[in-house]
Amino acid sequence: MLDDDLDDIHPLFHGAPSSASFKKLRKRIVRYTREAIEQYGMIERDARWLVCLSGGKDSYTLLAVLYELKWRGLLPVELLACNLDQGQPNFPATVLPEFLKKMSVPHRIEYQDTYSIVKDKVPAGRTYCALCSRLRRGNLYRIAREEGCSAVVLGHHRDDILETFFMNLFHGGRLATMPPKLVNEEKDLFVYRPLAHVAEEDCEKFAKAMNYPIIPCDLCGSQDGLQRQQVKQILDQWEKNSPGRRQVMFRSLMNIRPSHMLDPKIFDFVGLMRETGNFEENQADIPKLR
């Protein structure tokens, strides 16, 4: 898996630290990503994936690990990296193109000034994330279609998924999160999250060790008091008080028991019967509540 022959690696891994700790980290990220890809059925042979790059630590990790799997013959798909330049002020527009060219990664850089739209439409003091995300996603779907891609691949990791679950729980009144695999509303594209099992801490350590040129998000990152930041702080405190709590909570999202929840749309409570007695006959004697 690792680089016994230094000539036999993808350029994305040139200069990788030789320490045992980094090799362990890299193996773990690759293993978790491969598990998610297989577990959620992401591979369509000879498919083409649009791998979305923001320039953050997560998207760099995503790109590197997908190329690791492809380099090892474990991911039989074509990869096209894509960065959507959304027109944010002072965005270093040359960083990603230069990096991708240097790494010999096929890519497309698209400029769409969604920043001005978001600033114009969202009232002062409100968060930009929802509208920014919708505009970004719409453009990525368009690009995927233009490039003949069957899937849009995003860099959301385990902690993003867990935070979204709690945001929906605290603010949305529903049990839902970012799924590792879904089909868009138009039913013509998959959306994949191969880093679904990978911890944010591992992405940060990996990207930092590889010295990838990180680009901060000045739009969302400039706002204080975001719901996601509040949830992250809560989870950080829980993790501090009880190390490993995040992973335990994440595993619960993979171990759902509909019969032990309260949603009659996903479990037939009315039709639930004891092994003795005739439920339907007994039901006839029960008056309807008004």
- Environment class of 112 (CB within 10 Å of its CB; exposed 0-12, middle 13-18, buried 19+): middle
Give the span between the Cα atoms of 114 and 50, in whole angstroms. Answer: 20
Query: Is 220 flagged in the annotation as binding?
Result: yes
Q: What is the DSSP letter of 170?
A: I
Partners of 108 in beta bridges: 82
Cβ atoms within 10 Å, residue 147: 15
Query: Is 82 flagged in the annotation as binding?
Result: no
Give the span between the Cα atoms of 103 and 97, in whole angstroms. Answer: 10
- Helix, strand, coil: what percent of the chain each, to 5? 45, 10, 45
Query: Is 129 flagged in the annotation as binding?
Result: yes
Q: Which residues of 74-91 are buried (b: 16+ CB within 10 A; e: fewer)?
A: ebebebbbbbbbbbbeeb
Give the span between the Cα atoms of 65 and 70, in whole angstroms. Answer: 9
- Annotated binding residues for [4Fe-4S] cluster, as ranges? 129, 132, 220
- Annotated binding residues, as ranges? 129, 132, 220
